[in-house]
């Protein structure tokens, strides 16, 4: 194990890549806070799997577009594990496939908030507790290849 005694936050950890990252961090010995917005059952399942394997994890519902909620997620992690060493900014999503011609400003802003502003707010909250640690920002292949028709906001 490479991370015994360390703790991590994985945003969007209730499914897909985030769940795999949370499980991997736990297998390496880290205690893991798994944030989710709508995937409570997935986050709870990841926590159960980590605990059944002898690890330590908590699931925390959080809207990462509200700074007070982001701050509370970090504080909950610090309270649960005595600190936080690793932040994985994984939460994000396409929201809807729309061309620029079809898209209104509210949709554009929603995608930017979900994928960029939330990462900024999480990083800012984490830095207040960071000693020697790591920040990992997950990005989509869409940033390289455009993501297909109607993915311009997400690929940005």
Active-site residues, by number, are 154
Which helix or strand (DSSP H or E) is residue 89 part of? strand 86-89
Displacement of CA 77 from its chain's centroid (Å): 13
SS (H, E, C) 16-33: HHHHHHHHHHHHCCCEEE
Angstrom distance (rounded) from CA 34 to CA 55: 13
Tokens in use for 122? 């999480």
């Amino acid at each position: 194990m490479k991370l015994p005694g360390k703790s991590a936050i994985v945003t969007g950890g209730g499914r897909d890549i985030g769940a795999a990252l949370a499980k991997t961090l736990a297998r390496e010995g880290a205690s893991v806070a798994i944030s989710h917005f709508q995937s409570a059952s997935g986050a709870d399942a990841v926590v159960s799997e980590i605990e059944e394997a002898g690890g330590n994890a908590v699931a925390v519902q959080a809207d990462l577009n509200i700074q007070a909620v982001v701050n509370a997620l970090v504080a909950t992690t610090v309270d649960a594990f005595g600190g936080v060493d690793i932040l994985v900014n994984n939460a994000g999503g396409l929201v809807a496939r729309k061309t620029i011609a079809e898209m209104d400003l509210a949709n554009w802003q929603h995608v930017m908030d979900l994928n960029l502003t939330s990462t900024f707010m999480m990083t800012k909250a984490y830095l207040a507790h960071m000693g020697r640690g790591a920040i990992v920002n997950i990005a989509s292949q869409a940033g390289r290849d455009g993501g297909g028709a109607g993915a311009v906001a997400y690929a940005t």
